[in-house]
Chain A
Amino acid sequence: DSGVTQTPKHLITATGQRVTLRCSPRSGDLSVYWYQQSLDQGLQFLIQYYNGEERAKGNILERFSAQQFPDLHSELNLSSLELGDSALYFCASSHSSGGNNEQFFGPGTRLTVL
Protein backbone atom coordinates (compact mmCIF):
# COMPACT_ATOMS: atom_id res chain seq x y z
CA ASP A 1 0.00 0.00 0.00
CA SER A 2 1.57 3.27 -1.19
CA GLY A 3 -0.54 5.48 1.07
CA VAL A 4 -2.06 7.27 -1.93
CA THR A 5 -5.80 6.76 -2.26
CA GLN A 6 -7.95 7.21 -5.34
CA THR A 7 -11.68 7.10 -5.84
CA PRO A 8 -13.60 5.72 -7.52
CA LYS A 9 -11.86 2.51 -8.52
CA HIS A 10 -14.00 2.07 -11.60
CA LEU A 11 -16.07 4.54 -13.57
CA ILE A 12 -18.30 3.77 -16.54
CA THR A 13 -19.91 6.64 -18.37
CA ALA A 14 -21.11 7.74 -21.77
CA THR A 15 -19.57 9.96 -24.40
CA GLY A 16 -20.11 13.64 -23.81
CA GLN A 17 -20.37 13.26 -20.05
CA ARG A 18 -18.20 14.80 -17.33
CA VAL A 19 -16.53 12.92 -14.47
CA THR A 20 -14.38 13.79 -11.48
CA LEU A 21 -11.57 11.61 -10.19
CA ARG A 22 -10.31 12.13 -6.66
CA CYS A 23 -6.89 11.60 -5.12
CA SER A 24 -5.56 11.89 -1.59
CA PRO A 25 -1.77 12.03 -1.36
CA ARG A 26 0.41 10.36 1.25
CA SER A 27 0.54 12.17 4.54
CA GLY A 28 3.07 15.00 4.32
CA ASP A 29 3.40 14.95 0.53
CA LEU A 30 2.88 18.33 -1.09
CA SER A 31 3.01 17.37 -4.76
CA VAL A 32 0.31 15.53 -6.65
CA TYR A 33 0.79 14.23 -10.19
CA TRP A 34 -1.79 12.84 -12.57
CA TYR A 35 -0.86 10.23 -15.17
CA GLN A 36 -2.89 8.50 -17.85
CA GLN A 37 -2.15 4.90 -18.80
CA SER A 38 -3.54 3.59 -22.07
CA LEU A 39 -2.55 0.67 -24.27
CA ASP A 40 -1.41 2.83 -27.16
CA GLN A 41 0.17 5.76 -25.27
CA GLY A 42 1.61 4.04 -22.22
CA LEU A 43 2.05 6.07 -19.04
CA GLN A 44 1.77 9.76 -19.81
CA PHE A 45 2.16 12.68 -17.44
CA LEU A 46 -0.83 15.00 -17.39
CA ILE A 47 -0.34 17.65 -14.72
CA GLN A 48 1.38 18.39 -11.40
CA TYR A 49 0.21 20.44 -8.45
CA TYR A 50 2.39 21.55 -5.58
CA ASN A 51 0.83 22.84 -2.39
CA GLY A 52 -2.27 24.02 -4.19
CA GLU A 53 -0.63 25.56 -7.23
CA GLU A 54 -0.22 24.18 -10.73
CA ARG A 55 3.46 23.38 -11.20
CA ALA A 56 3.83 21.57 -14.52
CA LYS A 57 1.67 20.54 -17.43
CA GLY A 58 2.12 17.65 -19.78
CA ASN A 59 -0.04 16.28 -22.54
CA ILE A 60 -3.29 17.25 -20.91
CA LEU A 61 -6.25 17.95 -23.15
CA GLU A 62 -8.14 21.24 -22.82
CA ARG A 63 -11.22 19.18 -21.88
CA PHE A 64 -9.35 18.04 -18.78
CA SER A 65 -8.64 20.16 -15.73
CA ALA A 66 -7.38 19.58 -12.23
CA GLN A 67 -7.02 21.32 -8.91
CA GLN A 68 -5.45 20.75 -5.53
CA PHE A 69 -7.35 21.80 -2.46
CA PRO A 70 -6.06 23.29 0.83
CA ASP A 71 -6.13 19.83 2.46
CA LEU A 72 -3.85 18.74 -0.45
CA HIS A 73 -6.27 16.31 -2.03
CA SER A 74 -6.64 16.70 -5.77
CA GLU A 75 -9.37 16.24 -8.33
CA LEU A 76 -9.06 15.58 -12.04
CA ASN A 77 -12.05 16.69 -14.06
CA LEU A 78 -12.67 15.16 -17.47
CA SER A 79 -15.40 16.68 -19.62
CA SER A 80 -16.96 16.10 -23.03
CA LEU A 81 -15.70 12.55 -22.76
CA GLU A 82 -14.75 10.63 -25.87
CA LEU A 83 -14.22 6.91 -26.42
CA GLY A 84 -10.48 7.54 -26.58
CA ASP A 85 -10.45 8.86 -23.02
CA SER A 86 -10.99 5.33 -21.74
CA ALA A 87 -7.87 4.58 -19.74
CA LEU A 88 -6.41 4.08 -16.30
CA TYR A 89 -5.82 7.35 -14.49
CA PHE A 90 -3.20 7.33 -11.77
CA CYS A 91 -2.41 9.86 -9.14
CA ALA A 92 1.04 9.95 -7.58
CA SER A 93 2.41 12.02 -4.75
CA SER A 94 5.83 13.09 -3.57
CA HIS A 95 7.29 15.38 -0.98
CA SER A 96 9.07 17.36 -3.71
CA SER A 97 11.82 18.87 -1.64
CA GLY A 98 15.58 18.86 -2.01
CA GLY A 99 15.46 17.06 -5.32
CA ASN A 100 13.75 14.01 -3.86
CA ASN A 101 11.65 12.81 -6.77
CA GLU A 102 10.28 9.62 -5.27
CA GLN A 103 6.72 9.39 -6.51
CA PHE A 104 4.26 6.95 -5.02
CA PHE A 105 1.32 5.88 -7.11
CA GLY A 106 -2.24 5.23 -6.09
CA PRO A 107 -4.24 2.19 -7.25
CA GLY A 108 -5.78 4.14 -10.13
CA THR A 109 -9.24 4.81 -11.51
CA ARG A 110 -10.28 2.77 -14.51
CA LEU A 111 -12.43 4.96 -16.75
CA THR A 112 -14.57 3.35 -19.42
CA VAL A 113 -16.38 5.63 -21.86
CA LEU A 114 -19.15 3.92 -23.81
Chain B
Amino acid sequence: QQQVKQSPQSLIVQKGGISIINCAYENTAFDYFPWYQQFPGKGPALLIAIRPDVSEKKEGRFTISFNKSAKQFSLHIMDSQPGDSATYFCAASIGNFGNEKLTFGTGTRLTIIP
Protein backbone atom coordinates (compact mmCIF):
# COMPACT_ATOMS: atom_id res chain seq x y z
CA GLN B 1 0.00 0.00 0.00
CA GLN B 2 1.63 3.19 -1.17
CA GLN B 3 0.66 5.86 1.31
CA VAL B 4 2.51 8.73 -0.34
CA LYS B 5 2.16 9.25 -4.08
CA GLN B 6 4.66 11.49 -5.84
CA SER B 7 4.61 13.01 -9.30
CA PRO B 8 6.09 13.51 -11.77
CA GLN B 9 8.62 10.70 -11.95
CA SER B 10 11.00 12.94 -13.87
CA LEU B 11 11.09 16.64 -14.63
CA ILE B 12 13.17 18.82 -16.93
CA VAL B 13 13.21 22.55 -16.23
CA GLN B 14 15.13 25.36 -17.84
CA LYS B 15 17.60 27.30 -15.71
CA GLY B 16 15.84 30.11 -13.94
CA GLY B 17 12.46 28.42 -14.14
CA ILE B 18 10.21 27.06 -11.40
CA SER B 19 10.32 23.36 -10.59
CA ILE B 20 7.17 21.91 -9.04
CA ILE B 21 6.88 18.44 -7.53
CA ASN B 22 3.65 17.15 -6.07
CA CYS B 23 2.77 14.61 -3.41
CA ALA B 24 -0.47 13.23 -2.08
CA TYR B 25 -0.98 11.20 1.06
CA GLU B 26 -3.69 8.92 2.37
CA ASN B 27 -3.11 8.59 6.08
CA THR B 28 -4.68 11.56 7.87
CA ALA B 29 -2.59 10.76 10.95
CA PHE B 30 0.53 12.04 9.16
CA ASP B 31 1.59 15.32 10.68
CA TYR B 32 5.15 15.91 9.49
CA PHE B 33 6.03 16.30 5.82
CA PRO B 34 9.71 16.67 4.87
CA TRP B 35 11.35 16.88 1.48
CA TYR B 36 14.69 15.25 0.87
CA GLN B 37 17.24 15.90 -1.88
CA GLN B 38 19.50 13.09 -3.02
CA PHE B 39 22.50 13.31 -5.31
CA PRO B 40 23.89 10.17 -6.98
CA GLY B 41 25.94 8.11 -4.56
CA LYS B 42 24.86 10.17 -1.55
CA GLY B 43 22.33 9.80 1.21
CA PRO B 44 19.08 11.80 1.22
CA ALA B 45 19.56 15.26 2.70
CA LEU B 46 16.76 17.06 4.52
CA LEU B 47 15.77 20.10 2.47
CA ILE B 48 12.69 21.57 4.09
CA ALA B 49 9.76 20.29 6.14
CA ILE B 50 6.28 21.40 7.10
CA ARG B 51 3.62 20.55 9.64
CA PRO B 52 -0.12 20.74 8.84
CA ASP B 53 -0.78 23.80 11.00
CA VAL B 54 0.66 26.05 8.26
CA SER B 55 -0.17 26.19 4.56
CA GLU B 56 3.20 27.34 3.31
CA LYS B 57 6.82 27.37 4.38
CA LYS B 58 9.62 29.08 2.54
CA GLU B 59 13.37 28.66 2.93
CA GLY B 60 15.41 30.51 0.36
CA ARG B 61 14.42 29.32 -3.11
CA PHE B 62 12.49 26.34 -1.73
CA THR B 63 8.82 26.53 -0.75
CA ILE B 64 6.44 23.87 0.51
CA SER B 65 2.74 24.41 -0.12
CA PHE B 66 0.39 22.31 1.97
CA ASN B 67 -3.31 21.63 1.41
CA LYS B 68 -4.68 19.69 4.34
CA SER B 69 -8.20 19.25 2.98
CA ALA B 70 -6.90 17.82 -0.29
CA LYS B 71 -4.19 15.81 1.49
CA GLN B 72 -1.59 17.20 -0.88
CA PHE B 73 1.68 19.03 -0.57
CA SER B 74 4.17 20.27 -3.09
CA LEU B 75 7.72 21.53 -3.41
CA HIS B 76 8.44 24.62 -5.46
CA ILE B 77 12.01 25.46 -6.44
CA MET B 78 12.27 29.03 -7.64
CA ASP B 79 15.01 30.22 -10.00
CA SER B 80 16.08 26.60 -10.58
CA GLN B 81 19.81 26.10 -11.05
CA PRO B 82 21.86 23.28 -12.60
CA GLY B 83 23.11 22.47 -9.10
CA ASP B 84 19.51 21.61 -8.16
CA SER B 85 19.62 18.62 -10.51
CA ALA B 86 19.00 15.70 -8.18
CA THR B 87 16.31 13.27 -7.08
CA TYR B 88 13.74 14.70 -4.70
CA PHE B 89 11.68 12.65 -2.30
CA CYS B 90 8.66 13.72 -0.35
CA ALA B 91 7.93 11.89 2.86
CA ALA B 92 5.48 11.79 5.73
CA SER B 93 5.45 10.60 9.29
CA ILE B 94 3.33 10.60 12.42
CA GLY B 95 4.67 12.76 15.19
CA ASN B 96 3.93 10.70 18.24
CA PHE B 97 6.78 8.93 19.90
CA GLY B 98 7.63 5.64 18.29
CA ASN B 99 5.93 6.42 15.01
CA GLU B 100 8.52 8.66 13.49
CA LYS B 101 9.38 6.33 10.62
CA LEU B 102 9.30 8.10 7.28
CA THR B 103 7.07 6.90 4.48
CA PHE B 104 8.61 8.07 1.24
CA GLY B 105 7.23 8.91 -2.14
CA THR B 106 8.78 7.25 -5.17
CA GLY B 107 11.03 10.17 -6.05
CA THR B 108 11.32 12.74 -8.82
CA ARG B 109 14.45 13.03 -10.91
CA LEU B 110 14.90 16.74 -11.61
CA THR B 111 17.16 17.94 -14.40
CA ILE B 112 17.86 21.64 -14.84
CA ILE B 113 19.06 22.49 -18.34
CA PRO B 114 21.02 25.65 -19.23
The chain A residues found within 8 Å of chain B, CB to CB, are 2, 4, 31, 33, 35, 42-45, 48, 50, 55-56, 58, 90, 92, 94, 96, 99, 101-108
A53 to chain B, nearest CB (A): 10
Shortest B76–chain A CB gap in Å is: 21
A101 touches B95 (CB 8 A): yes
Q: In the complex, what residues of B have CB within 8 A of residue A96's CB?
A: 97, 100
B43 touches A108 (CB 8 A): yes
**How many residues on the B side are at the interface (Cβ–Cβ under 8 A)?**
24
Number of A-B contacts (CB under 8 A): 66
Q: Whole-angstrom distance from the CB of B47 to the nearest CB of chain A?
A: 11
Contact between B43 and A107 (Cβ–Cβ < 8 Å)? yes
Instruction: Mark out the residues of chain B between 93 and 114 whose CB falls within 8 Å of any chain A CB in the assembled complex.
Output: 93, 95-107
Q: Are A102 and B44 in contact (CB under 8 A)?
A: no
B96, B97, B103, B107 — which one has the most chain A CB atoms within 10 A of its CB? B97
Is B12's CB within 8 Å of the partner chain A? no
Q: Is the interface of A mostly helix, strand, loop or mixed?
A: strand
How distant is A111 from chain B, measured CB to nearest CB, in Å? 14
Query: Residues of B at under 8 Å CB distance from A?
Result: 32, 34, 36, 42-46, 49, 89, 93, 95-107
Q: Contacts A43-B89, A101-B95 known; A2 to B45 CB distance under 8 Å?
A: yes
Tell me whether A31 and B44 are in contact in the complex, defined as CB-CB below 8 angstroms, given that A99-B95, A101-B95 are known contacts.
no
Q: 28 A-B Cβ contacts within 8 A?
A: A2-B43, A42-B107, A43-B89, A43-B104, A45-B101, A48-B98, A48-B100, A48-B101, A55-B98, A56-B98, A56-B100, A56-B101, A58-B101, A92-B102, A94-B100, A96-B97, A96-B100, A99-B32, A99-B96, A101-B49, A101-B95, A101-B102, A102-B34, A103-B34, A103-B100, A104-B46, A105-B45, A108-B43
Given A42-B107, A45-B103, A56-B101, check contact A103 B46 (CB 8 Å). yes
